[in-house]
Amino acid sequence: MYNLAIIVCAFIFAFTSYQPAEVGANTFTAKQVRLGDNLLSILRQNGFSEKQREQVIAADKGLRTLFLTLDTRYLIRTTPTETELRIFDSQTSQAFRVLKKGARVEASSYQPKFTVKHTKAEGRVYGSLMGSLMAKVNSNWVATRFMDAYVFDMAHSRDVVRGARFSFTVERLYEANQFIKYGEVLNTSLDIRGIAVQKKFVRYKDGGVFFSAQDLLENRPFFAPVEYIKIASRFKPNRLHPITGRVQPHLGIDFELPVGDPVFAPRKGIIVRYGNNRAAGNFIVLLHSNGMETSYNHLHKIDKRIRQGLKVSAGEKIGEVGCTGYCTRAHLHFAVKKKGRMVDPVKYIKAYPPQMERYLEERVASN
Ligand SMILES: [Zn+2]
């Protein structure tokens, strides 16, 4: 009887703890960000006047760089007297609370404490890998992150044949009992040239990389110059411009990161050039002992210590990611020059930055 009482109590506790925190008029509902939406259009759709929209933008400067994609939802709560919005940046962990009470508006940033759930998906590749992934979880973010896991392993799309198996686990992030967005893809497996290659997402500080023990054995001359590897655009020496049809090569790789993220020297080197120009924005060029050059464009800031001839060691911070020069969205354009020719950086860099090497080695050793 005593045992039964405990069990019953446990059940009551379990059920009550699953009750939504907000009920009735205070309940949030989630809305999808739609094509073409930005903060202003979302405010307009939810009854904010032009003046109120301006007040919101002026209240927190983070709102001006808010980055929204179709993969993210926002929350809305309305009562007869007030409207509250919670808007989540798609690229960072940042969120904003916007409150309208009568004519008054308030807006501020906050760090959301998401409830995390996991989803596992598996399938086979028919048609494109990207399309096959999206058929399982309809999210551009998730499919792109999966591709990021294999950026250093896949030289050609033909490495993944028809019928190749894939699987992954991804985080689902909730606030106020509503699904907001997908988080990190945590575990992946993909048949490459017939062999299942498994990766784990290893968190490190604010970033993290996709990793397999095999990656430690790769004998590549450079480490990654960033702590979070998300590829926005790859090396394409013969890229055709979609409108002009002219060859407009992309001679580096673009790492998509928020403004201010650190950029590290990927190997010991010496600063041969740095400065600012119209196309590259703030840039740095490093020369390394193996005779190769690496360059970094669109930097928000060049580290104050940087001067011509300065020696830097692997893992030293040299600047910050930004969007200076010809740039529409913050990223690091990273290029590698070998014997006077630009080469594909992914063939020359490891899957992780220098400061993570020891940490990853320890993880492998403890397994
Ligand atoms: Zn680029």
Kindly report the CATH number assigned to the domain that includes residue 144: 3.10.450.350
359 has a pLDDT exceeding 70:
yes
Quickly state the pLDDT bin for 290 (edges 50, 70, 90). very high
Q: Tokens 């030293």 appear where?
A: 316
Same domain, 73 and 163: no
* Amino acid, res. 347: K
The stretches of the chain forming alpha helices (DSSP H) are 2-17, 39-45, 50-59, 129-136, 140-149, 357-366
DSSP conformational letter for 322: B
Is residue 172 in some structural domain? yes
Is residue 5 in some structural domain? no
Same domain, 105 and 121: no
How many CB atoms are located within 10 Å of the residue 348 CB?
17
Is residue 360 in some structural domain? no
Give residue 118's domain range: 113-204
For residue 330, the CA-to-ligand 1 centroid distance in Å is 11
Strands 253-256 and 331-338: antiparallel
For residue 331, the CA-to-ligand 1 centroid distance in Å is 8
| Predicted structure pTM score | 0.86
For residue 354, the CA-to-ligand 1 centroid distance in Å is 22
Same domain, 187 and 87: no
Nearest CA-CA partner of 294 in 322, 324, 314: 314
Same domain, 315 and 227: yes
Quickly state the pLDDT bin for 102 (edges 50, 70, 90). confident
Q: pLDDT at position 299, please?
A: 98
For residue 11, the CA-to-ligand 1 centroid distance in Å is 56
Q: pLDDT at position 17, please?
A: 42
For residue 290, the CA-to-ligand 1 centroid distance in Å is 24
Same domain, 157 and 39: no
How far is 10 from 336, CA to CA, in rounded Å?
60
For residue 107, the CA-to-ligand 1 centroid distance in Å is 34
Q: Tokens 């005779």 appear where?
A: 291
Is residue 4 in some structural domain? no
Could you read off the pLDDT of 179-238 as tens digits, one per residue? Answer: 999 999 999 999 999 899 999 999 998 889 999 999 999 899 999 999 999 999 999 888
For residue 92, the CA-to-ligand 1 centroid distance in Å is 21
How far is 10 from 23, CA to CA, in rounded Å?
23
For residue 255, the CA-to-ligand 1 centroid distance in Å is 8
Same domain, 233 and 328: yes
Is 226:263 a contact under the CB 8 Å cutoff?
yes
Same domain, 83 and 122: no
Count of structural domains, the chain: 3
The helix (H) or strand (E) run that includes residue 196 is: strand 195-204
For residue 189, the CA-to-ligand 1 centroid distance in Å is 28
**Which residues hold their Cβ within 5 A of ligand 1, which is an ion?**
252, 254, 333
Among 55, 82, 110, identify where a domain stops: 110
Is residue 361 in some structural domain? no
Give per-residue burial for 30-61: e unless 16+ CB within 10 Å, then b: bbebeeebebeebbeebebeeebbebbbebbe
Same domain, 179 and 199: yes
